[in-house]
Every structure is written in structure tokens, then in C-alpha cells.
Structure 1
Amino acid sequence: MTYAFYFDSQFCTGCKACQIACKDKNNLPPGVLWRRVYEISGGGWERQGEAWTTDVFAYNLTLACNHCEHPVCAGVCPTQAYSKREDGLVLLDASKCLGCQ
């Protein structure tokens, strides 16, 4: 069995509480984030005669470790801070991490 992190963007308000909780739980130094929340937005307004149409969109996206079957990050980490457990979880040893991610 392997684990996963389920994220439903319909309920995300972009508050970044998950990002802060991860940083706090793992006692990460300034500038190092293992979870990031991004706001994706775009589009615009267009006048068509007397009416305006829009294709404006905005949503939040949270990114973190995907616990890959073959984690490339573990192979390229200069300090070997990553390890993979038998149950599939990819772990990062903060005491070895330089924060170059």
C-alpha cells in the first residue's frame, strides 16, 4: 500500500494554512517550504458590441512531495537527505537538507 495527499481545489481558499502547518510541523528555516500554495489566474474582458464577455479564471494549487515510485529528487540530492520507506513514503531529513529545492 502507498499513501497519497488528496487535494480538492474546490475547497481551497488560498489561505496557505497547510503551507504554514507543514513548515511549523517540520521546523523549517526561513525560505524553505516543503508545501507551496500558488494562485493561478488569467483571462480578461472583451467587448462585443454593447456587451462584455469574460474568460477570467482563478484557482489555487498546492504542491508538495508526490511520493513517486522512483523519486528523482532522491537521486540528485547533494546531501542524500531523501529516503524512501517500504510503504512508499518519501522522507526528507531536515538536518541534512540545504534547502536547494
Structure 2
Amino acid sequence: MADKSLNKTELVAKIAASTGQSQATVDGVLGGFFDALAESVGNDVKVSIPGWLAVERTHRAARTGRNPQTGATIEIAAGYSVKVSAGSKLKAAAK
């Protein structure tokens, strides 16, 4: 696993430097992207950027689990999760 990370502020600065846009503009666009992504996934719409990534909401069925401290059986309610799949270009960049 990589020991380096890039936070949002650093990502915005990097994109701004490579595109010549202001950091405020890039931050606004990135914020809009994540807002649209969250709204789409929340409305059960799959978001796909060919070659890069796909994000979709998945359903988890109700299931039985165990409390690790007591060993008691518990019922875990059905719910939703998010699945993020890397595209071919992103996978190639990771090699």
C-alpha cells in the first residue's frame, strides 16, 4: 500500500497548476462534481466515466451477524452501499 496521500487541498492546487485555473475555480468545479455524484448515486443512477471509474449504489440484503464481544446473534438490517470500480486507464496508471 502506498505511504503517500493527496488531500483535497493538495489535489485542488495540483489541478489548478496544471490547468492554469485559479484554486477557487477548481475547488468549485470539484465541489460541484462531488455534489452531482452524491445526488446521482443517492437517486440510484450509475455514474460512469469511461476508462476512469464507475460509481453506483448497491443494495445489501438483511442478514444475521454476531456481536464479537458477546457472541450473541444480531439481525443486521437491509441497506445500501456504494460500489466504485476502477476503469482501464486508472488500472493501467496503477501498474
Q: TM-score, normalised by structure 1?
A: 0.29
Of structures 1 and 2, the one with the larger relative CO (CA 8 A, separation 6+) is: 1
